Structure 1
Amino acid sequence: MTATALSACRSLPYPDSPQYRDGGFRNPVEPKTVGWREMPAMLWRFLFDKPADTVPSTAPPVSALTQAQLLAAPEGTLVRFGHSTVLLKLDGAFWLTDPVFSERASPVQWAGPKRFHAPPMRIEELPPIKGVILSHDHYDHLDKAAVLALADKTEHFLAPLGVGDLLVEWGVDAAKVKQLDWWQSAEIGNMHFVATPSQHFSGRAMFADNPTLWTSWVIRSPSLNLYFSGDTGYFDGFKAIGEKYGPFDLTLLECGAYNPQWAGVHMLPEQTLQAHLDLRGRRLLPIHNGTFDLAMHAWTDPMERITALAQAADVATLTPVMGQTVDLHAPPPTAAWWRTASR
């Protein structure tokens, strides 16, 4: 860990963070999102008037995956597990982004958004994990049950400010937890990580006032430079990150759960493409789609729109089936898997 990183979890509040003020974490510019006057109508539509095509008619395809396959996979292998959960094999070890393995992205498992598909493998089947990389505290990104199941087989947990405190509160060994503010960095072996800005919000309870920070990540191995967005609206931070840390071999960018009403905290597909260009990305992997019903658009809409936009802009995309191993040094063509579950 570098001198710029916070080496230990700290209790609230966070007086040294420029992002912490007025009792919570704040974006530099207040983003466009649903106002309190719009909230009742939006909740009514979400609960009682959703289009039928926000969920697939049949489960999306999932490629069978074994630990032996992962151990034999080459350096630079990537596997989508669903939503924003991605397994990366870098520097001879395995890294997981925002691991969500529960049936529902919810504080309870009897209600809330339910998975369209099972993960490609169970946590107990995973090889040892070098590090878990967390973007923020929302239930579709921070799965308490998964974190606790991973705690013994994971060496490091990288988290934004406040999220690390949550992990320790849940029982994760504090020595494993590194929590960072924006622009702070950590070194683990030959891996270099930077917590970079994003434009979002936080809270695991109703009316929570941003008690923890949200972040995107630069993930740099000796042979690959990757960007993981977490959740974010489009903002000028992408250009700053691209200028400072790009170009990126691959951008893993959110594209899903969007709506013009909350475009300030979740990008529309056109903004996802622009973010990729701002970051100076070579290939784009759209994430935050294909697993949970979190908006009013058709569940296939994110992938249809972003792939069409990318093709028109001559941007190379990766759209692997969940569970498919992809060698990022020589990625194979990937197919429109979402169409098989929408017929």
Structure 2
Amino acid sequence: MLIFLTLILVLALITVVYIQQPQFGKHPEGARLALIEKSPHYKDGRFRNLVEKPTISEGYSMMGEIYKILFKTYPSRQPVDSLPSVKTDLRQLPLDSNLAVWMGHSTIYLQVNGKRILVDPVFSGKASPLPWGVKAFKGSNIYSAADMPEIDYLIISHDHYDHLDYESIVQLKDKVKQVICGLGVGAHFEYWGYDSSHIIEKDWYQKVEIDTNFVIHTEPTHHDSGRGFARGRTLWMSYLIQTPEMKIYISGDGGYDTRFAEIGKKYGPIDWAIIEDGQYDKAWQSVHNLPEEVSQAAIDLQARNVIPVHHSKFTLGKHPWTEPLERITALSEGKSYKLQTPMIGQPVILTDSTQSFQQWWKGIN
């Protein structure tokens, strides 16, 4: 018993020391925390979803899911082969072209009305703060911070490691003019060396005015946040980019609910919807879309074109790695929107909905 208690104490001490490393970020405090406490979405020391639901679905348990992940085997969760890609030189793209370049998982580079926008950059090749944690699939991590041009707006959906990557954020610091993120997330950026004057933190239902008739609206999603052991200290977001010619919705992470229909009613029709589709499970359906919910969300949003993301880079769910693409492709047949599935690095011209992309995942082992 003494040996067991000693081991527990040693592990606890190692954990306490380890989470002091900078990649775990910083909790909001001082004036930032005071502002957070005024938010109608913050209660009893944490942010809340609009409709609170348990993270783990009825009939499942957290311990049961941890057991499955640690001790059960699920087939084809990652490819054996290297993924195909196109490494587009972002610096050579004409700035007056409206386009999107998906870089695997949820990382998207956008050029919209002369502005360069980067969403949830993860270039470190990992989705975990642990050195032995989740690694990127072969061929999926072709871009680095060094490949990025100067970024006008860096947009962060929430502070989970697979969306807010410490190494990438530090390496991008001198290229980023402005950061747009949810309340509290700015504490991480300041801790990592960003000037507070370059950080725009917002609550849901607010906006950032970029230019005349060019606005980024901040909208809710149903998810969570946290680095280390604390949850809900920072706000999770979705975004609607609106210009005179185009509307682009970025879903961030989050399970299906009525917000998609509400956003569609408020802004629709939406030209491009970039929606999370991957790393889902019936057990945590409340916080991640199932593919059929992605399809319904696109209809609710009145989306004309859909780019599914949150897949094909990391193994964070139990499903086969190709399943999100296969299911959303089948579900999208005959629907009111057009599904667009570029391979990593392949430019999507946002002014040309006649583009078509191959099912590049076919035939990869």
Q: TM-score, normalised by structure 2?
A: 0.87
Structure 1 unaligned regions, length at least 5: 1-8
Q: Secondary structure at the match of 1:158?
A: strand
Give the equivalent residue in structure 2 for 1:200. Answer: 223
Q: Corresponding residue for 1:127? A: 149
Describe how 1:33-182 pairs up with structure 2 within 5 A.
33-34=55-56, 38-70=61-93, 72=94, 75-108=97-130, 110-116=131-137, 117-182=139-204
Determine the C-alpha separation between the residues in 1 that align with 2:270 and 2:334: 20
Contact 2:83 2:140 in 1 (8 A): no
Instruction: Name the stretch that deviates more: 73-82 or 243-252.
Output: 73-82
SS of the residue corresponding to residue 317 of structure 2 reads coil
Determine the structure 1 residue equivalent to 2:244: 222
Counterpart code for 1:278: D
Q: Distance in 1 between matches of 2:180 and 2:211?
A: 14
Which residue of the partner structure matches residue 278 of structure 1? Answer: 300
* Kept after mapping to 2: 8 A contact 1:32/1:261: no
* Contact 1:32–1:263 (Cα < 8 Å) also in 2: no
Contact 2:140 2:344 survives alignment (8 Å): no
State the Cα deviation string for residues 79-122 of structure 1 (Å, max 9, x = none): 001100000011212101111111110113x2211101343432
Contact 2:88 2:346 in 1 (8 A): yes
The one-letter code sitting in structure 2 at the alignment partner of 1:197 is: P
Q: Which residue of 1 aligns with 2:14?
A: none
- 1:287 is displaced (CA, Å) by 0.5
The alpha-carbon deviation at position 237 of structure 1 amounts to 1.1
136-145 or 188-197: bigger deviation: 188-197
The equivalent residue for 1:3 is none
Q: Of residues 324, 330, 341 in structure 2, which corresponds to 1:302?
A: 324
Give 3-state SS (helix, strand or coil) of 1:88's partner. Answer: strand
| Higher RCO, 1 vs 2 (CA within 8 Å, ≥6 residues apart) | 1
Normalised to the residue count of structure 1, the TM-score between the two structures is: 0.92
Find 1:334's aligned residue among 328, 341, 357.
357
Identity of aligned residues (%): 38
- Answer with 1 or 2: which has the greater Rg: 2
| Contact 2:179 2:200 survives alignment (8 Å) | yes
Residue in structure 2 matching 1:317, options 339, 350, 355: 339
Aligned to 2:284: 262
One of 16, 19, 27 as aligned partner of 2:49: 27
Structure 1 range deviating more: 122-131 or 302-311: 122-131
Counterpart secondary structure, 1:249: strand
Give the secondary structure class of the aligned counterpart of 1:337: coil
Instruction: Please report the RMSD computed on the Cα atoms of aligned residues, expressed in angstroms.
Output: 1.8
User: Which amino acid letter does the alignment assign opposite residue 339 of structure 1?
Assistant: K
Contact 1:65/1:121 (8 A) holds in 2: no
Separation (CA, whole Å) in 2 of partners of 1:67 and 1:318? 20
The separation in 1 between residues aligned to 2:115 and 2:319, in whole angstroms, is 37
Q: Matched residue of 2:325: which SS?
A: helix
